[in-house]
Amino acid sequence: MHSNIAGSVALMEVMRVQQPMPTLVYASSSSVYGLSRDFPFSEADRADRPASLYAATKRSLELLAHSYFNIYKMSVTGEGCLSVCAGERCLALSSTLASNLRGRGGGGGGTKY
């Protein structure tokens, strides 16, 4: 829990004073949807019922990132990386992440503030 929350805040605090301010890209998780029975998950789904401490820390990071965007205009992208990844799906995920890091967007990947 400490590294997911305190470590993320420490990183964002260092980033916010840099000129130019770097972009934060972090790994989110479908676990933020917790007890949702809807599948596949959508960014519009509720994410306020975590089923584990891990899920609560990942959701906390999403909320903190949104706050850093609102307060400091920090560019933040949360990538919903999958736990299970094989073959072409891994290549597609890597391509989407690389596109987002270059600022082009990958179509369907992550929440960007």
Catalytic residue numbers, as ranges: 54
Cα gap 48→103, rounded to integer Å: 29
Q: Which amino acid, residue 59?
A: R
Distances in Å between the alpha carbon of 14 and those of 7, 10, 61, 77?
11, 6, 16, 17
